Amino acid sequence: MKKIFKSKIAGAALLVLAAAVYIFVPAVRDNVNSAVSMLKSVDIEKAKAYILSFGALAPAVSFLLMVLQSLIAPLPAFIITFANAGLFGWVNGAILSWSSAMAGAALCFFLARILGRDFVEKLTTKAAVEKIDEFFKDYGKYTILICRLLPFVSFDIVSYAAGLTSMGFWPFFVATGVGQLPATLVYSYIGGMLTGSVRTFVMGLLLLFAVSTLAFMLKKIWNDKKKSAKA
């Protein structure tokens, strides 16, 4: 209990420090606001230009952007994935997108575990967390895999919600990595070929991929339930 209390104090202190830096350091505040605005625009070319504007630090900035969108759910992550593929090639872009998304997911998980449900609901929304609660209730261990493959479900909220459950970090981390890898590879490959404003086309491909994968996952869950019922 004492260890948990100390962890919560440390987590709260870090959040206060981060908030203070954002408020009192104009350069940090301006860059964060610009990044959030860019992500909200859902514009791949704008994302590329923003990342490239940092020169040699572009990969590091892209990494931090992915972590930022993880914290401020539900900003779109696939914009960064597409931009990385267009800027660094689809293989290097996929590696960068996957590793940074994993870092963001881990951070969300630990913040939720340390600071609790009230913190998560304030950072996201109560309705969103309750919706993911239903996913965990219906699909259990498969929730992480299923939600990661649905572009219209904020996986960042899933990461927060997982931190509120009894799920261990390593099962969460492995499921996240496995669930995230195929989507990242496909999105990166598509992203490497994208030019201009192709939002409708992209979303169509994402939905097609998500529905196909979801159908496979649901079939597996159904078969597992049938096996459990017979046992």
- Residues 6 or more apart whose CB falls under 8 angstroms from that of 125 comprise none
Per domain, the residue ranges of the chain are 42-230
Q: Residue 99: which H helix or E strand, with range?
A: helix 90-115
Residue 13's pLDDT is 73
Residue 10's pLDDT is 66
| Token pair 């996240």: residue | 176
Q: What are the DSSP calls for 161-217, one per residue?
A: HHHHSS--HHHHHHHHHHHHHHHHHHHHHHHTT--S--HHHHHHHHHHHHHHHHHHH
Percentages (nearest 5) of helix, strand, coil residues in the chain: 85, 0, 15
Long-range CB contact pairs, 203-207, < 8 A, 24+: 203/151, 206/78, 206/151, 207/151, 207/152
Q: Rounded to two decimals, what is the model's pTM? A: 0.78
Query: Structure tokens of 34?
Result: 């610009």
Residue 97's pLDDT is 94
Residue 152's pLDDT is 56
Residue 62's pLDDT is 94
210 near 151, Cβ under 8 Å? yes
98 near 149, Cβ under 8 Å? no
pLDDT beneath 50, residues of the chain: 196-197
